[in-house]
Amino acid sequence: MNPRVAHSARRTVLAAVLVVSAAAYGGGGPPNFLLILADDLGYGDVSSYGAPDVQTPHLDRLAAEGMRFTAMRANATVCSPTRAAILTGLYADRVGVPGVIRTHPENSWGWLAPGVPTLADRLRGQGYHTAIVGKWHLGLESPNLPNERGFDLFRGFLGDMMDSYTNHLRLGINYMRHNYEEIFPRGHATEIFTDWAIEYLRGVDRAKDRPFFLYLPYTAPHFPIEPPAEWLDRVRRRAPALEPKRALNVAFVEHLDDAIGRVMAALRESGLESNTLVVVTSDNGGSIPHAQSNLPWRGGKQDHYDGGLRVPFIARWPGVTPAGSVSDYEGLTFDVAPTFLEAAGGAIPPEFDAVSLLSMLRGGPPPSGPRELYFVRREGGPRYYGKSYEAIIVDGWKLLQNDPVSPLELYNLREDPLERTNLAAARPEVVRRLAESLRRHIQRAGATPWQPPDNRSPASAR
């Protein structure tokens, strides 16, 4: 069936589902969900996480009014795998996305597995209107366009990074879309996505008789670091001694924070705030070569050290989540998926690797029981050769590589949270135990292809 026809035909079924969903809540209806995902926002680039030179009042307000998580990690140290994990509740290589999806097949390291339900699919099945505004980065052609993977609305950018925030091209190709239609918006990408999100909250392209899931993945502050001139001038006036590259990034983050503040204002003005669970996080740590900060953690984007994995994670749910609360629970960003499903009144699929945080958000205890935190990235080029490298955290121990050809490193995070002392040689029995856990994850993921069957070029979506 033509995807556009199928997309339209599903609406009839959803009307009946919504009646059942509302009845399950005694007529009150389930909460709305707003997931804001920054791109390369470092742990040390948010003032409520200790950044000394960045001012993020809107993120800080969300933290003050909700729960700030201090030990959450992204599912991967780069973009596409984290996004795939968040939208499926499964480890990224289990859904075919161990690495970054790119335009050219010889440099693309993932293919989102067709048939795996996304969070949008599952919430839509519970009567939600689903929308993505911003960066997709999980496929450039059918069957992996956003409208084919559970979203009623897509307004945004199909690709990975932009050549410029003002021309919105990637490798000279326009990947901006409104659903399936190529569009040519004008302005700074952060402001465009913000305007579109505000329009959605105000009722444009949204079914007002249904709860909504709005996924707002910004491209900022991913390089190229391009804050508007007035934001950079503001930082230079405030901190004239700040190193130029750092000043650019500070301005870029503050511009993003302002955009998030505008979205939150629209949520309030639209009367939606009291029944909306908002989560803000990042897809991975900040890029050190671009003067982004992950302090106090070691390393940055592309590393399996915690600077590449620890990310800001803030949840705000008025009247439900205790204001000003702080949690040191060690989870992963894809825990959003079962949390939203459970909050919506749905069942958590037994195949999920992710864990619901709902009890904590309601002021209760964290998830109980042991947990393995697994990370993977596959990449090309002379450092990686198309191979993968992994990391795993079990019971306070972390085993990792930062490229496929380097020796394994072992850290005791409870005694050495900054990962200064490699214990691989001193504790071979721990290395063996964690390596066995890694083997099980790698073998399980091997059942899922991470390339299209005919290795066709995703650039045909042009």
Residue pLDDT, tens place only, 244-278: 999 999 999 999 999 999 999 999 999 999 999 99
Q: Which one has a higher pLDDT value, 102 or 26?
A: 102
Q: What are the C-alpha distances in Å from 180 to residues 133, 155, 165, 390, 461?
A: 13, 9, 21, 36, 10
The answer to whether 41 and 253 have CB atoms below 8 angstroms apart is yes
* 3 state SS of 170: strand
What is the distance between the alpha carbons of residues 43 and 33, in angstroms, rounded to a whole number?
Answer: 23
Angle at CA of residue 216, ends 307 and 145, nearest 5°: 105
Tokens representing 431 are 């290395």
Residue 191's nearest CA partner among 225, 222, 227, 154 is 227
Residue 12 contacts by C-beta under 8 Å, 6 or more apart in sequence? none
DSSP state of 408: P
- Active-site annotation holds for 79: yes
pLDDT in tens, 160-215: 999 999 999 999 999 999 999 999 999 999 999 999 999 999 998 898 899 999 99
Angle at CA of residue 104, ends 283 and 379, nearest 5°: 50
Q: For the chain, which residues make up each domain, given as ranges?
A: 31-371, 374-445
Residue 82's beta-bridge partner residues? none
Mean pLDDT of 327-333: 98
- Active-site annotation holds for 137: yes
CATH number for the 31-371 domain, one of 2.40.50.100, 3.40.50.720, 3.30.1490.100, 3.40.720.10?
3.40.720.10
What is the distance between the alpha carbons of residues 221 and 442, in angstroms, rounded to a whole number?
Answer: 31
Considering 79, 129, 255, 441, which one is annotated as catalytic?
A: 79
DSSP state of 461: G
Residue 405: alpha-carbon gap to chain centroid? 28
CATH topology agreement for domains 31-371 and 374-445: no
Considering 137, 188, 255, 290, which one is annotated as catalytic?
A: 137
pTM exceeds 0.85 = yes
pLDDT in tens, 342-398: 999 999 999 999 999 999 999 999 999 889 999 999 999 999 999 999 999 999 999
Distance between the two ends of the chain, CA-based, in angstroms?
Answer: 21
What is the distance between the alpha carbons of residues 252 and 244, in angstroms, rounded to a whole number?
Answer: 12
Q: At the top level of CATH, which class does the domain 374-445 belong to?
A: alpha beta
